[in-house]
Structure 1
Amino acid sequence: MKGRRALLMLALAGLLGLAAVLLASRWLLRQSAPSTVRIVVAAADVGLGQRLAPEMVALADWPGHSVPDGAQRELAGLAGRVLKSSVQRGEPVTAAKLAPAGTLGGLSALITEGKRAITVRVNDVVGVAGFALPGNFVDILVHAQGAGASDAAVSKIVLERILVLAVAQEVARDDTKPRVVNAVTLEVTPEQAERLDLARGVGTLSLVLRNQVDPRPAATAGATRFTVLGAAAGAPQLQPAPAATPRLAAAPARPERAPERYCIGVIDGNRSSKECL
């Protein structure tokens, strides 16, 4: 009898232990499994300025604790919207990456509200050897000649931290390979557009590539021949004096000859004399 009771107690203890293990494991699984939400992600790589088609987006599970700000929860209303920045496959589509509803595709969708796009002609030197790519910031340098003979040429930064919207007809910003093109489109304010248009009329333009995260202005007074070359550029050029022609030494003055006189001899008795005329 005592043996049966001992066996029953052992069996009951084993069942209770097994139940405790199962309950603990289920609790741990619930605690470790993160909650997920469904958000809109890109179903394919989409470039900036493109319109979203229904097959370009899809709903996907995303960890609830890391949902990005502005994430879209519904597919409805996204068809036809234009992207302001490119997205990769599986990347969330957020409100910050979408242009306002009704925006047409293309370059106009990339222009910030209140700004304008202006295109300037460049070459391999002016365009920083092709490294001025969409998304980069540049300064605009103008080199102008003086209006008169006495006015020195000047080189001056006229615009700073200007965003490059496009190079030629390309607006992709995920490329780092330099591209030599003949035109660059810049994003400027209306006032900056006026200054840039005037600057390219009075001189030649150059783009100066700058650090992406450097907002400090460059307070410069411009460069002239005098500031670059020093005092030698501003000093008048002295012409060498012509070599003096040697002069012949004056001949010594000859003494004047007395005028010739005519003389005659006079004999008076035993005296003689001489009279000259």
Structure 2
Amino acid sequence: MRLMFALFLVAGIGLAVVAVIMAQGQIAQFQAERDHLVAMQKNAPRLANVVVVKKPLKYGERFTAQDLAVIKVQASALPQGTFTQIVAKAGTPEAEKAVFIEGETRPRATMRSLAANEYLLSQRVTKPGTDAGILASLQSNRRAFTIQVNVASGVSGFLRPGDTVDVYWSGAINDEPVTKLIESNLKLIAIDQNADPDRTAETQIARTVTAEVSPEQVAALTLAQNTGRLTLSLVGAHDTDQVGAIEIDRDQLLGIQKEQVRQVEKAKVCTVKTRKGSEIIETPIPCTN
């Protein structure tokens, strides 16, 4: 009986030791996993709130707070102009990054098409209560100016709202034909009466384009349009070079030097022919043209 009791006691102690060893191993594993997670969290990129649209929105479509959601994304990868809150109280720091101010019931509108779950950017939406269009596209202290174009002067239908163009004037200076760059990097905000940058009329030839300009440029372009012909040149999306003064006249185009012109005029001899009987007499006279 005592032997049996001793055997059970030894077996129990052995099982207890095994259990302790297994528990220690499990605890060590849990601690290692915990330390690994803490290290990962410490090295993980910081997340930030960003407002997205719940559903696809077309150009000019109105939306309210119910059409928006907030998600977490990597803070360092956020583009400029994102919103971090849907609604915030007026006068608070959060209000600068909110889509709507608390109590605001007027909807806003999109200024370009948005896909579902796409970031809502401040430069792609209007102010509350404002519909998409030219008025929503104008920046502070800027004006909308319309330029008449055709298939040649309007870059053959390739222009879209949001594009940037250079404007060239062609006319006469001192009775000599001249083409001159008068404005560079003008932003277009509408083609004909359409301010949608996603318009699908790929081959439509514009009759007018509307650019965002300063009041001084309005005066200059009005005078230029009334005294000559304007031609637009599309600026590339990645073009960062500053264009200097450009002016070409007929002599520069043909490579004619002014001295050559004077020599030709000096060497020119004019005559008049008269008939005297059967004889034709050629008499030199001063050249008038």
TM-score of the two chains, using structure 2 as the length reference:
0.69
Q: Distance in 2 between matches of 1:210 and 1:239?
A: 49
Conserved 8 A contact 1:167-1:183: yes
Candidates 88, 91, 107, aligned match of 2:115? 88
Please tell me whether the aligned partners of residues 162 and 188 of structure 1 are also in contact (alpha carbons under 8 angstroms).
Answer: yes
Question: RMSD of the alignment, in Å?
Answer: 3.5
Q: Distance in 1 between matches of 2:165 and 2:233?
A: 5
Q: 2:217 aligns with which of 156, 178, 192?
A: 192
Aligned partner of 1:15 in structure 2 is 23
**Rounded Cα–Cα distance in structure 2 between residues aligned with 1:219 and 1:49:** 39
Distance 2:109 2:245 in 1: 39
The partner residue of 1:71 within 63, 67, 83 is 83
Unaligned 5+ segments in structure 1 are 250-277
Q: What SS class does the counterpart of residue 146 from structure 2 fall into?
A: strand
Alpha-carbon distance change, 208 to 89 in structure 1, aligned in 2, over 3 angstroms: same
Q: Secondary structure at 1:74's aligned position in 2? A: strand
Structure 2 SS opposite 1:143:
strand
Q: Which of the two has greater strand per residue?
A: 2
Change (3 A) 1:67 1:199: closer
Give the distance between the partners of 2:236 and 2:50, measured in 1 at CA. 35
1:127 maps onto 2:125 in alignment: no
Decide whether aligned partners of structure 1 residues 45 and 240 sit closer, same or farther in structure 2, where only a CA change above 3 A counts.
farther
In the superposition, relative to structure 1, how do residues 14 and 100 fare at CA in structure 2: closer, same or farther (>3 Å)? same
Task: Judge which range, 109-118 or 20-29, deviates more.
Answer: 20-29
Compare 121-130 and 30-39 and name the one that shifted more: 30-39
1:1-277 to structure 2, matched below 5 A, reads 4-29=12-37, 32=40, 38-47=49-58, 50-63=61-74, 66=77, 70-75=82-87, 77=100, 80-83=107-110, 87-101=114-128, 103-146=130-173, 151-174=175-198, 177=202, 179-212=204-237, 213-220=239-246, 222-229=247-254, 230-231=256-257, 235-236=264-265, 238=268, 241=271
Q: Structure 1, residues 205-248: CA drift from partner, whole Å, max 9, x if none?
A: 1001123342503222x222222221477754947746686888
Judged with a 3 Å threshold, the aligned counterparts in structure 2 of structure 1 residues 68 and 203 are, in CA distance, closer, same or farther, namely closer
The CA distance in 1 between the partners of 2:253 and 2:31, in whole Å, is 82
Structure (1/2) with the larger helix percentage: 2
> TM-score when scaled to structure 1?
0.71
Which protein shows a greater Rg?
1
- Between the aligned partners of 1:98 and 1:243, the Cα distance in structure 2 is 79
Q: CA deviation at 1:84?
A: 5.2
How far did 1:23 drift?
Answer: 3.9
* CA contact 1:49–1:107 (8 Å) conserved in 2: no
